[in-house]
Structure 1
Amino acid sequence: MFLEFFIWGAWFVTMGTYLTKTLSATGTQNAGAYATQALGAIIAPFIIGLIADKYFSAQKILGVLHLMGAALLWYETTVPSFDGFYPGILAYMVIYMPTLALVNSVSFKQMQNPSKEFPWIRVFGTLGWIVAGVIIGWLGWEQSGTLVLTFKMAAIASVALGLLSFTLPDTPPVKKGQKTSLGDIIGLDSIGLLKNKSYLVFFLASVAICIPLAFYYNFTNPFLNEVGVKRAAGIQTLGQVSEFAFMVAMPFFFVRLGVKKMLAMGMLAWALRYVFFAYGNAEHNYWMLIAGIVIHGVCYDFFFVTGQIYTDNLAGDRFKSAAQGFITLATYGVGMLIGFYLSGPIVDHWQTSATTHNWQTIWLIPGSIAAAVLLLFLIFFRDNNQLQTKPGLDIEEPSAQTEI
């Protein structure tokens, strides 16, 4: 788990800066490179549903994919232009995104009580992402213009995880010999949940909030480097520290706030984050930049994790997996894809010179989108029932008696 997210965090955070400074990419090209994550998320269920679930053990596919991924990451360090870089990173994300589900499958197979055991395993993924960012910041690769080394570091880690995967306990295919339909793969069996008006509002809000989310992934690191923040990649790991802290505290907030307030606070945090970025700088308002990063725990946990729990409770035992797959495909696939392709032209439009941008205007655009989504959510989301969560209860396993 540590290596899985170390690999991703090693190159993903700083890719925008690498593309801009080393390959002279435009904002639109930068956004296109990040959009490969969403494309990978859309394709991943088909790889899992058609191959991993039916024919081969998960740990073996995990190993093969990471070894293939290592070769692609190393290849990316040799291409001199964005036109050569893009096909490689697209192929890599199509390979990498399914490994997120595979590494979870291997973990769950070995556990007696996943809801209690898995969080303490998954936290090593967050730690891996943090360590990758700290290493990049400590070695000063952003300032020295040597971010190509991030891809080499990720490639080496990918080889290590690929080889390690073949030594993991056997995790055989769970649907061997069973027929798999398109509906099974993308979770269409759970589409009936959209008949619930409250869930429909939540679903549409989830897709819409991913549009401003894409701006953060695309351009935070180039922005921080442009305004003079030193060791930006290391500073950005404060977001993962915040994510972990708020994850631990979520049972406390659940029992006091309920679903609607937590979802609303998550969306409000996205709007506030971009206001902080719009008016922050590396001199007098440095604290606003830090606040915009640290608020990540509220942005992610209060909306996305709460939404996963809300979906889990509403779906019931029969459609739990299908519902989670459907909402993930809609948000990290469709929503993020729209956001990635929208953000690039906006950043290009507000470029003021070859090396500078009007970041205040740029950040206020996704901030306004997040605020609009929040307003519509507050108006139309009528479900005021709360999850009956007691302090200390594992948030991954809400009570089966809860009614939403």
Structure 2
Amino acid sequence: MSNPAPDAKASRKSLATLFFCTAMPMGMWSVPLANVFNAHGRGHLVPWVFATTATAAFISPLFVGALADQKHSPVLLLRWLTAATSIALFLTCGSLAWGWSDAAVLICAQLLALAALPAWSVTSSIVFSQLNNAKQQFGPLRAWATAGWMVGCWIVSFVLRADASLVAGVTAAGLWLVVMSLTWRLPMIPPGEIVHHRTWKQILGLDALGLLIHRDHRVVFLTAALYCIPLAAFYPYTSRQLHDLGVQNISAVISIGQTTEVLVMLLLSGLLARVRLKWVFLSGIAICVVRYSLNTINTLPSVMFGTLLHGFAYTLYFITTQIYLEERIDPKWRVRAQALLAMLMSGVGNLLGYLGGGWWFAACTEGKITNWPRFWWGETALTAAVCVFFALAYRGRVRSE
């Protein structure tokens, strides 16, 4: 099968399918991961497996982003990455099934993280490159990724009934090969700027740090990292709070947030056409302040309503950030810009969020009783501080620009 002509544009249907199919195996493995490891007697490895993602975030996104911007087509890179992700995920499942040592399991998990993490930023860059108006077109397309994640979770729970089974991982590995096959239906996008003799700094993608020289770029990137610190508490600790409140179908309640995420993405283009970027950014962080303050009430209705706000809190900042990078960054740097965002979010922000959140949770827990109002007030204060920082530091453009 040959690739479409280089100057062709992928259809909206192809891009939506790419997002949907890329997110589906991610959800199928990420959500049941802890239960799968526990079922195979490796529950003690779960924190270390999550740490492999943070470790990979400091290495692979910028390295792959540099390749996409300076050496190879991002479509070709995505093809390699999805094949590598499929193999690494199969090996990770096999290492559990075949009783390999803890070290061998973690090595497989680290290889999986190194391959899977940059695949997402490369996918986003491919989609952006095919759009004529990112503000209007990206939100509805990105909603298909959230839908794919949700469908993947539903397949694991209701079709495969594999919430604690390696069947979830093996199925996800197969779906990564489906994503690889989709790359043959995409135009072979050229790299932003072919560089034949690259320095080590360029090879590793470290030259992307030069984007931080621009004041607004720096504020947007740093806020993304800082915002991820309190945001990392949402999934692990909202689930525990719901459990303490007697909720049985916790995953179903948490999925309310993803439902609103889809809704906001569909409405985002209209919002960006009418409102300055600064206020869209700020509204997302401010809504997160409200969301966490609702959790301090520690009642089921307040926590559920707070969860409902997750889609607004996430989309209005992070999806808008991706659109900002597409519009404000020189085309030859765009893949590296998305990669730098992934590194700061998944590496710096999430790592500090998981470690700091774990410390704060322990400080708010005595015996087996957690002081949830105290815990969430701490997260609320941290989120409010991020909101104030962005409000004071970001300048932006006036509407006439």
TM-score of the aligned structures, taking structure 2 as reference length = 0.76
Task: Note if 1:308 corresponds to 2:322.
Answer: yes
Deviation at 1:14, TM superposition (A): 4.6
What residue in structure 1 maps to residue 257 of structure 2?
A: 239
Match of 1:260 among 267, 275, 278: 278
Specify the code of the residue in structure 1 equivalent to 2:370.
H
Q: Which moved more, 1:84-93 or 1:322-331?
A: 84-93
Deviations 1:118-165 (A, max 9, x none): 766544322221123334565897xxxx7422x421321322432662
Task: Note if 1:360 corresponds to 2:376.
Answer: no
Match of 1:126 among 143, 146, 154: 146
SS in 2 for 1:237: helix
Q: How many residues align?
A: 375
Match of 1:158 among 173, 185, 189: 173
Q: Equivalents in 1 of 2:220, 2:66: separation in Å?
A: 30
Distance 1:91 1:321, change over 3 A: closer
What residue in structure 2 maps to residue 395 of structure 1?
A: none
What residue in structure 1 maps to residue 224 of structure 2?
A: 206
What residue in structure 2 maps to residue 394 of structure 1?
A: none
Deviation at 1:266, TM superposition (A): 1.3
Deviations 1:190-239 (A, max 9, x none): 54543444443333322211111222244333443343222222222222
What residue in structure 2 maps to residue 99 of structure 1?
A: 119
What residue in structure 2 maps to residue 73 of structure 1?
A: 93
Specify the code of the residue in structure 1 equivalent to 2:53.
Q
SS in 1 for 2:148: helix
**For structure 2, which runs of at least 5 residues remain unmatched after alignment?**
1-17
What residue in structure 2 maps to residue 35 of structure 1?
A: 51
Deviations 1:178-201 (A, max 9, x none): 344444456554545434444433
What residue in structure 1 maps to residue 5 of structure 2?
A: none
Q: Equivalents in 1 of 2:359, 2:42: separation in Å?
A: 15
CA contact (8 A) 2:284 2:315 kept: yes
Deviation at 1:167, TM superposition (A): 6.9
What residue in structure 2 maps to residue 290 of structure 1?
A: 304
Deviation at 1:373, TM superposition (A): 1.3
Specify the code of the residue in structure 2 equivalent to 1:252.
G
Deviation at 1:44, TM superposition (A): 2.2
Q: Equivalents in 1 of 2:35, 2:364: separation in Å?
A: 17
Q: Equivalents in 2 of 1:278, 1:229: separation in Å?
A: 17
Q: Equivalents in 2 of 1:380, 1:107: separation in Å?
A: 30
Match of 1:376 among 369, 389, 392: 389
Q: Equivalents in 1 of 2:320, 2:375: separation in Å?
A: 28
Q: CA RMSD in A?
A: 3.9
Deviation at 1:246, TM superposition (A): 0.8
Q: Equivalents in 2 of 1:184, 1:178: separation in Å?
A: 11
Task: Note if 1:229 corresponds to 2:272.
Answer: no
CA contact (8 A) 1:58 1:105 kept: no
Q: Equivalents in 1 of 2:262, 2:398: separation in Å?
A: 23
CA contact (8 A) 1:54 1:178 kept: no
Specify the code of the residue in structure 2 equivalent to 1:95.
A
CA contact (8 A) 1:25 1:82 kept: no
Specify the code of the residue in structure 2 equivalent to 1:165.
M
Distance 1:61 1:188, change over 3 A: closer
Q: Equivalents in 2 of 1:366, 1:87: separation in Å?
A: 33
Task: Note if 1:347 corresponds to 2:365.
Answer: no
Distance 1:314 1:243, change over 3 A: same
Distance 1:131 1:331, change over 3 A: same
Identity percentage of aligned residues: 21
TM-score of the aligned structures, taking structure 1 as reference length = 0.75
What residue in structure 2 maps to residue 8 of structure 1?
A: 26
Deviations 1:88-126 (A, max 9, x none): 4333222321332455577678x5869587766544322
Q: Equivalents in 2 of 1:5, 1:373: separation in Å?
A: 28
